[in-house]
Amino acid sequence: MLGIFGGLIVLSCALCGIFFALGIGFFAKTVAAPTSLVDQYYTSIKNQNYDTAYSYLGPNLTASNGQPLTQNLYTTAAQALDTEQGQVSSFSIPNISVNNDTASITVSVKRANAPAYDVHLQLRREGGNWKITSYDNI
């Protein structure tokens, strides 16, 4: 009886792991979706595709001067950072915290000509889609 019970527990754990990897289930929907968005966002920045990167940002962001953040302002800032510190060469996501429809994610970013630094992102699920609603660096 204990063997059967133990086998069922192992099988349940294996199925949860498979569902998580396939993007099925509660944990995959709450953690995988914002992580995937941030991965796509930084892949776009790494590839210098700023139009695509901008598409992951929420509509109510402001530039450092308090003006609404437009695609042109975002692209100009990202290109200036690439010129100053080099293109993004790698990134990783060491920390993620999801609470219902909000997420806080730390991204460790390495650029060609600068030491690694952390970027802190805030995300919100709006209409079923996750968007970056706040960031402290590109």
pLDDT of residue 97: 95
Contacts of the segment 7-11: beta carbons below 8 A, 24+ positions apart: none
Which carries the bigger pLDDT value, residue 15 or residue 119?
119
Distances from the Cα of 84 to the Cα of 36, 47, 48, 78, angstroms: 28, 16, 14, 10
Predicted pLDDT of residue 7 = 55
pLDDT for residue 127 = 84
| Spans of all domains in the chain | 27-135
CATH of region 27-135: 3.10.450.50
**Mean predicted confidence (pLDDT) in 60-79:** 92
pLDDT at 27 over 50: no
Query: For the residues 6-13, what does the mean pLDDT come to?
Result: 56
Query: Residue 70 has what DSSP assignment?
Result: -
pLDDT of res. 14? 57
Local confidence band at 9 (pLDDT 50, 70, 90 cut-offs) = low
With a threshold of 0.85, does the pTM exceed it?
A: no
Alpha carbons 110 and 14: distance in angstroms, whole number = 35
Band of the pLDDT at 38, cuts 50, 70, 90?
very high
